[in-house]
Structure formats: C-alpha cells, structure tokens
Amino acid sequence: MNLEEYPEPIKKDIEDQSLSILEHIADDILVIGGWAVRALIGDKHGRYTLDIDGVTKQTTMKKVESILESLGMRERKSEWGVQFYQQYEANVKIPKEIQKEIDDLELRIEISGPRIKESQTAHYFEFSLTEVIGREIQYHEKKGKVKVNVPPVEHMTAVKLGLPVDYKNNFDSQVLLKICNIEKVIEIIKSNDDWSEMVLRRIPKLIGRLRDKERLEHLLAINNDINIKEHIKTMRHIENKLKTG
C-alpha cells in the first residue's frame, strides 16, 4: 500500500481553490492551524491540510458568513464553530481511478470564536485578535499571493504544545520551536487560562515520541534539521518553568 498525496496538479488545484476562497475573508479572520504554520514557516514546512481553520470575533462572524454564502458555500455546525463547505470541482484532469474519491471531496473552512477548547476537557486557549502578524501565501498556479493574518509564532507554538500529540501537531511544534522566543512562549502559555496544564500533560508524550527512533516524529525531526537533544532540552526547560509557576 502506498499512502500518498493526490497527484501534484490535483493537489495544487485543491490548495489554490481553498486559497482563493480564503482571499475573500482574509481581512476578517485570523488563520490558525496547519495553514498558519505553513504561512509562518514557508514552503519547507511541507504540510498543508485540506481544511482552513480560522478564528474571528462574534461580531464579524455574520459578515464572514454572508461572504462565504455568496461564494456558494454551505454551512454546518462543527465541534469548534461553523464549518463552511462546498464540493470541489476540479479544474484539472482527474485520473479515472480516483474520480470517485474526488467526487466526494469538499473544500472546507472552519471558523470559530478566538477561544479554542481542548477536546474532552474544559481547558482552552484564546487567540489574541489584536496581536497578529501579516503573512503571504503564494498560489501554486495562479499569479499572486494572499495576505493573511496569523498569530505570532510564539502564540502558535504555545497552542500547538498543548494540543493532542499526533505526528502533525508534534511536527508543527518542532518546526515552530526552532524559530521562536522560548521565554515568550512560556509567558503566553501561562497567561492562557490553565493551558499550562495541557502543555504539561502533553510534553512527556511529545518527548517520548520524538526520542523513539522508530517513530515518524523522530524521522521528520531529523529530516528537518532539528537537533533532537537540543529540542528535548528546550521542552524540558518549558516543562520546568511551567511547573514552578
């Protein structure tokens, strides 16, 4: 079995179409999740998610809703907020063998309030809607870039460190930690409700998975020129600082 991405032209078309939708609401939302990490890290991140995740003020939500509706997107309630979706219609040739899967594919944008809750717990992280930075995401086939607002790298790192320890979050936190101010990350974790409890819960697992030479996280870290020893040291430092309050 070969588990892989869609062929390059399809993948690029999906990403360009998602980006094109995002362009309409880019001023009204703060992009978070995989797309934000990509915007902060650049192309070497190599990880795009199908869904675009964003947060916004309750008062702006109506505006976003009407823009996305005017683009033909439908909406449904999601665990986090509202998911806007529309059927993907390919602008490129689709091989017969994947036509069925492509027919089921949706372009999705999920938008919620700035406070994101951790699954199965009452802990939350609240994104600042004022402390944001501008970044550009380049289209693949279309000329031009989309200007988006994303959280500063320290905020993104703080949230990623407290999220479930799957390879995606783990990989994102690895690449983010490399380029951020660690003390600022600690400060942000501490200032966010009891997010530090989530981070403290996740760190042993983050380290355990990173250390294990058989784990994907270990391979991804080496492939991204991350010094695993140093990285673990940094996480231990964060852990100690959070424990001592």
Partner 1 sequence: MKIKSAIFGLICIKPYTIKSIVKRLPYAPVSIYNAIEEMLNEGKIYKIKTDGETRLDIPKKYMDQKRKDFFIKSLSYGIDPEIFLRENTLLVWNALDTSTTVKKITKKTKLSEKSVRKYLKFFADSELIKFEKKKPLIVAKIHNHPLVPLVTSMVKESDKTERMYSPGSSPFEEIITTPDEIEKILYEKIDDSVAIKKTGFFVKGKPGKISVLESVTSKQILEVIFLDKLMTPEGVEDSCIKILANKKIDFDMLLARAIEKNRINQVGCYLNILGDINKKLVPNEIIKKFHENISQKKYIFLKQEMKYGKSGWEQKYEKIWNVDLYLDIGAIEHGARGI
Q: Summarize as ranges the residues that interact with partner 1 (CB under 8 A).
A: 1-6, 11, 14-15, 34, 44-51, 79, 97-98, 100-101, 105, 118-121, 163-169, 171, 204-205, 208-209, 213-216, 219-220, 222-224
Q: Token match 């080496």: residue?
A: 222
CA dihedral 168, 172, 175, 179 (to 10 degrees): 180
Burial class (CB in 10 A: 0-12, 13-18, 19+), 203: buried
What are 7's two structure tokens? 């062929």
Nearer to partner 1, 69 or 101 (CB): 101
Rounded to the nearest whole angstrom, what is the least distance from the CB of residue 153 to partner 1 in the complex?
18
Nearer to partner 1, 82 or 105 (CB): 105
Nearer to partner 1, 60 or 232 (CB): 232
Nearer to partner 1, 154 or 172 (CB): 172
Identify whether the C-beta of residue 157 lies closer than 8 Å to the C-beta of residue 28: no
What type of residue is 130? T
* φ/ψ of residue 192, rounded to 5: -105, 90
Nearer to partner 1, 80 or 132 (CB): 80
Question: CA–CA separation, 100 vs 236, rounded Å?
Answer: 47
Rounded to the nearest whole angstrom, what is the least distance from the CB of residue 212 to partner 1 in the complex?
9
- Of 66, 71, 32, the closest CA to residue 52 belongs to 32
Rounded to the nearest whole angstrom, what is the least distance from the CB of residue 94 to partner 1 in the complex?
11
Rounded to the nearest whole angstrom, what is the least distance from the CB of residue 34 to partner 1 in the complex?
8
What type of residue is 132? V
Rounded to the nearest whole angstrom, what is the least distance from the CB of residue 166 to partner 1 in the complex?
4
Nearer to partner 1, 67 or 105 (CB): 105
What type of residue is 60? T
Rounded to the nearest whole angstrom, what is the least distance from the CB of residue 215 to partner 1 in the complex?
8
DSSP annotation of 6: P
